[in-house]
C-alpha cells in the first residue's frame, strides 16, 4: 500500500488529488491525502468579479470536505510546517509536520508519513515586502475571496463619493517591482473601469494602472507577437490600444517602495521617484514560497537544499545563474521532481522557476523592476495531472517507471482577461500562446508558434470566461464525468 500526501488544494494540488485518486482506483489499497489550511476551494480567477461586486462569494468558493468524502481522498484541514524527506529517529519513511487549522482541532499538530509527496502550496502573499501594502495597510487585494469582498466594499464607497461629485483617483496594479500576475491586475483595472461607466460616474474618475512591466502587454511572459490582418503586431500595441480606447492611464516600469494613507511612493526604471495620490488602490502583492522548513533524519535543517531562497521548492530545472541571452527553454523543469529526493515533487506556483520569462531590468540604484514568471491556471493544472500520472505509474510498476513530463517551454496556455461583465455588454481579451516560455531555437523571432499565439478582444472572451468559471467549478466538485474536462 502506498500513501501519497499532497500539500495544498488549489488549482494544481486539487487537480493532482482528483486525478491520482482516479488513476489509482476509487477503492484501491492506496491512500491519497490532502493537507490544506482552508476548508473551502476557491476559483481564484472569478475573484475579480467578486471584487467589483458583480458576483457573490458563494459563487466562487465551496467546501472541500464533501468532495473528498465522495472521491475517497483523506482530508486534513491543516497547514504544513515542515517536511522530513528522510524520516526521523522513529522511521526512515518521509513525513510532514502539520498544524491543524480545523476549528474542531485547535492547536493540534501531527506528523503524517508519506511514500510520495506533492508540494502544491502556491504562493505566500508577501504584503510585508512593501510597507503599507495590503489589507492590513492602505490598499485592497483580490487574491482571496475575502480580500475581494473587502475590495468590492471599498469600491462601492468610492463610487458613492463619485456620485456625490467628488473626483476620485483609482490606482490598480502591482505593489512591488518583482510581482507577477499582471494579467489579474489588468483584469481588475478594466472591470473597475467598466463598473464606473455602468454607475454613470466615469467622468469624475481617473483610473491608473501601475505596473512593473516595462511595456504594456508583457504580462510576465515577455509579451506576445501576433499575426493579425496581414501584419505582425505585438501584445504591447494591442494592449495600449485598449488603454487608449477606455481612457485608462498607465505607469510602467514601477516598483512601489511604500504606501501611506492615500499616497503611493514608487521608483521607476529610469531611477526617478514619485508620489501618486489615490482614493482607491488595489495592488497585488509579490509572491514567495510558503514558510515550510526541511529537516534531515538527524533533525538538522536542510531547507536550503530543498527550497530556493525565494521559498519555492527546487525541482529538475537548471538553476545555474545565466545572462538573459543564455536563457534556454531546456532550463525549465519537465518532471517537477526534487533533485534531492525522487519521491518529492512541486507543482504550480510552488516550484522554483529557473529564471524569469520577461527580460530582466534594474533601476540605476539596483532595484529589480521586472515581472516574475506567472504560473497560471492551465499550466498549474497540467503539472498537477502530470505528476499524478508519474506517481500512479511508480506505485503500480515500481520506482523505475519513467516520469511523465510537462515543461512550460513545451506547453501552451489560454488566458482570458476579463475587461467587464455583462452577457451583452461584457468583454474580455482572449489570448492563447504556445509555448508559455518562448523557445527562440525552435521558433526563431518571437520564440512562439504564431499559428497558436493569438489575441482578440470582445464579448466572446467574456462568454468564454463565464464558461470556464462553470466548467472548472463543476470539475473541482468532481461532478459526473468531471475527468473529461481538460486542465
Ligand X SMILES: Cc1cc2nc3c(=O)[nH]c(=O)nc-3n(C[C@H](O)[C@H](O)[C@H](O)COP(=O)(O)OP(=O)(O)OC[C@H]3O[C@@H](n4cnc5c(N)ncnc54)[C@H](O)[C@@H]3O)c2cc1C
432 binds, among ligand X, other proteins, none (CB under 5 to 8 A by kind): other proteins
Distance of CA 381 to the CA centre of its chain: 11
Spatial separation of the C-alpha atoms in residues 185 and 182, rounded to whole Å: 5
Residues in the chain: 487
- The contacts of residue 341 (CB under 8 Å, 6+ apart) are 85, 86, 94, 306
User: Which CB sits closer to ligand X, 37 or 420?
Assistant: 37
Q: Among 5, 7, 406, 409, which residue interacts with ligand X (rule: CB under 6 A)?
A: 7
Phi/psi for 287 (5° steps) reads -105, 150
Does residue number 36 form part of the binding site for ligand X (CB under 6 A)?
A: yes
Say if residues 173 and 189 touch (Cβ distance below 8 Å).
yes
Spatial separation of the C-alpha atoms in residues 282 and 404, rounded to whole Å: 39
Spatial separation of the C-alpha atoms in residues 418 and 420, rounded to whole Å: 6
199 binds, among other proteins, ligand X, none (CB under 5 to 8 A by kind): none
Q: Among 17, 19, 30, 47, which residue interacts with ligand X (rule: CB under 6 A)?
A: 47
Q: Among 454, 474, 477, 482, which residue interacts with other proteins (rule: CB under 8 A)?
A: 454
Q: Among 128, 319, 432, 482, which residue interacts with other proteins (rule: CB under 8 A)?
A: 432
**Interface stretch with ligand X, choices 120-128, 296-304, 318-326, 333-341 (CB under 6 A):** 120-128
263 binds, among other proteins, ligand X, none (CB under 5 to 8 A by kind): none
Among residues 473, 436, 410, 467, the alpha carbon closest in space to that of 180 is found at 436
Q: What is the CA radius of gyration of the chain?
A: 22
Q: Among 54, 158, 290, 446, which residue interacts with ligand X (rule: CB under 6 A)?
A: 290
Helices (H), 202-295: 235-246
Q: Among 424, 444, 480, 481, which residue interacts with other proteins (rule: CB under 8 A)?
A: 424
User: Which CB sits closer to ligand X, 303 or 367?
Assistant: 303
Does residue number 252 form part of the binding site for other proteins (CB under 8 A)?
A: yes
Spatial separation of the C-alpha atoms in residues 145 and 14, rounded to whole Å: 18
467 binds, among ligand X, other proteins, none (CB under 5 to 8 A by kind): other proteins
Write out the binding residues for ligand X, residues 370-389 only, by CB under 6 A. Answer: 375-378, 380
Cβ-closest position to ligand X: 10
Write out the binding residues for other proteins, residues 158-217 only, by CB under 8 A. Answer: 167, 169, 197, 202-206, 208, 215-216
Q: Among 228, 272, 273, 425, which residue interacts with other proteins (rule: CB under 8 A)?
A: 425
**Interface stretch with ligand X, choices 33-41, 171-179, 240-248, 395-403 (CB under 6 A):** 33-41
Cell of 22: 482516479
> Based on the number of CB atoms within 10 Å of its own CB, is 379 exposed (0-12), middle (13-18) or buried (19 or more)?
buried
Spatial separation of the C-alpha atoms in residues 168 and 278, rounded to whole Å: 7
Among residues 199, 176, 191, 229, the alpha carbon closest in space to that of 369 is found at 176
The helix/strand/coil state of 259 is strand
79 binds, among other proteins, ligand X, none (CB under 5 to 8 A by kind): ligand X
Say if residues 421 and 191 touch (Cβ distance below 8 Å).
yes
290 binds, among ligand X, other proteins, none (CB under 5 to 8 A by kind): ligand X
Among residues 84, 39, 19, 4, the alpha carbon closest in space to that of 382 is found at 19
Spatial separation of the C-alpha atoms in residues 215 and 370, rounded to whole Å: 10
Q: Among 28, 38, 293, 410, which residue interacts with ligand X (rule: CB under 6 A)?
A: 38
206 binds, among other proteins, ligand X, none (CB under 5 to 8 A by kind): other proteins
250 binds, among ligand X, other proteins, none (CB under 5 to 8 A by kind): other proteins
Cell of 372: 516574475
> CB 177 → ligand X: shortest distance, Å?
18
Spatial separation of the C-alpha atoms in residues 94 and 88, rounded to whole Å: 8
CA torsion sign, 140 to 356 to 418 to 376? negative
Say if residues 42 and 19 touch (Cβ distance below 8 Å).
no
Q: Among 73, 142, 250, 408, which residue interacts with ligand X (rule: CB under 6 A)?
A: 142
**Interface stretch with ligand X, choices 45-53, 154-162, 167-175, 475-483 (CB under 6 A):** 45-53
Say if residues 183 and 461 touch (Cβ distance below 8 Å).
no
Q: Which residues bind other proteins (CB under 8 A)?
A: 167, 169, 197, 202-206, 208, 215-216, 236-237, 240-241, 243-252, 276-277, 378, 382, 386, 405-407, 410-414, 424-425, 427, 430, 432, 434, 452, 454, 456-461, 463-464, 467, 486-487
Q: Which residues bind ligand X (CB under 6 A)?
A: 7-13, 35-38, 44-45, 47-48, 79-80, 120-123, 142-143, 181, 184, 290, 292, 348-350, 375-378, 380, 415
Amino acid at each position: 500500500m502506498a500513501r501519497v500526501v499532497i500539500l495544498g488544494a488549489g488549482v494544481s494540488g486539487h487537480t493532482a488529488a482528483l486525478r491520482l485518486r482516479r488513476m489509482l482506483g476509487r477503492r484501491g489499497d492506496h491512500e491519497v491525502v490532502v493537507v490544506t489550511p482552508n476548508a473551502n476551494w476557491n476559483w481564484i480567477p472569478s475573484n475579480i468579479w467578486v471584487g467589483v461586486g458583480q458576483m457573490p462569494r458563494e459563487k466562487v468558493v465551496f467546501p472541500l470536505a464533501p468532495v473528498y468524502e465522495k472521491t475517497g481522498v483523506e482530508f486534513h484541514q491543516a497547514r504544513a510546517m515542515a517536511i522530513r524527506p528522510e524520516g526521523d529517529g522513529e522511521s526512515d519513511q518521509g513525513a510532514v509536520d502539520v498544524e491543524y487549522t480545523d476549528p474542531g482541532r485547535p492547536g493540534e499538530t501531527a506528523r503524517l508519513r508519506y511514500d510520495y509527496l506533492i508540494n502544491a502550496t502556491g504562493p505566500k502573499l508577501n504584503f510585508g515586502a512593501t510597507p503599507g501594502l495590503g489589507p492590513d495597510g492602505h490598499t485592497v487585494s483580490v487574491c482571496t475571496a475575502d480580500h475581494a469582498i473587502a475590495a468590492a466594499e471599498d469600491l462601492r464607497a468610492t463610487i458613492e463619493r463619485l456620485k456625490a461629485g467628488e473626483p476620485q483617483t483609482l490606482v490598480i496594479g502591482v505593489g512591488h517591482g518583482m510581482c507577477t500576475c499582471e494579467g489579474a491586475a489588468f483584469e481588475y483595472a478594466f472591470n473597475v473601469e467598466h463598473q464606473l461607466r455602468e454607475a454613470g460616474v466615469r467622468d469624475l474618475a481617473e483610473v491608473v494602472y501601475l505596473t512593473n512591466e516595462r511595456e504594456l502587454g508583457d504580462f510576465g511572459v515577455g509579451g506576445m507577437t501576433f499575426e493579425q490582418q496581414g501584419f505582425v503586431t505585438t501584445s504591447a500595441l494591442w494592449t495600449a490600444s485598449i488603454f487608449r480606447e477606455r481612457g485608462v492611464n498607465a505607469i510602467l516600469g514601477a516598483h512601489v517602495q511604500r504606501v501611506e494613507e492615500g499616497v503611493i511612493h514608487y521608483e521607476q526604471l529610469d531611477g526617478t521617484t514619485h508620489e501618486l495620490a489615490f482614493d482607491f488602490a488595489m495592488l497585488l502583492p509579490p509572491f514567495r514560497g510558503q514558510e515550510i522548513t526541511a529537516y534531515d533524519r538527524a533533525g538538522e535543517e536542510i531547507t536550503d537544499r530543498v527550497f530556493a531562497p525565494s521559498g519555492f521548492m527546487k525541482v529538475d530545472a537548471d538553476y545555474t545563474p545565466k545572462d538573459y541571452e543564455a536563457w534556454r527553454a531546456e532550463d525549465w523543469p519537465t518532471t517537477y521532481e526534487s533533485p534531492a529526493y525522487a519521491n518529492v515533487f512541486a507543482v504550480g506556483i510552488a516550484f522554483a522557476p529557473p529564471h524569469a520569462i520577461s527580460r530582466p531590468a534594474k533601476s540605476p540604484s539596483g532595484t529589480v523592476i521586472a515581472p516574475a514568471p506567472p504560473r497560471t491556471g492551465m499550466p498549474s493544472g497540467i503539472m498537477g495531472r502530470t505528476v499524478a500520472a508519474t506517481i500512479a505509474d511508480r506505485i503500480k510498476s515500481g520506482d523505475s517507471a519513467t516520469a511523465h513530463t510537462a515543461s512550460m517551454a513545451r506547453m501552451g496556455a489560454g488566458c482570458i482577461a476579463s475587461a467587464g461583465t455583462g452577457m451583452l455588454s461584457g468583454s474580455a481579451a482572449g489570448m492563447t500562446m504556445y509555448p508559455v516560455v518562448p523557445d527562440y531555437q525552435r521558433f526563431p523571432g518571437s520564440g512562439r508558434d504564431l499559428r497558436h499565439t493569438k489575441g482578440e478582444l470582445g464579448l466572446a472572451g467574456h462568454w468564454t470566461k463565464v464558461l470556464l468559471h462553470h466548467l472548472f467549478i463543476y470539475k473541482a466538485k468532481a461532478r459526473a464525468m468531471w475527468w473529461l474536462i481538460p486542465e
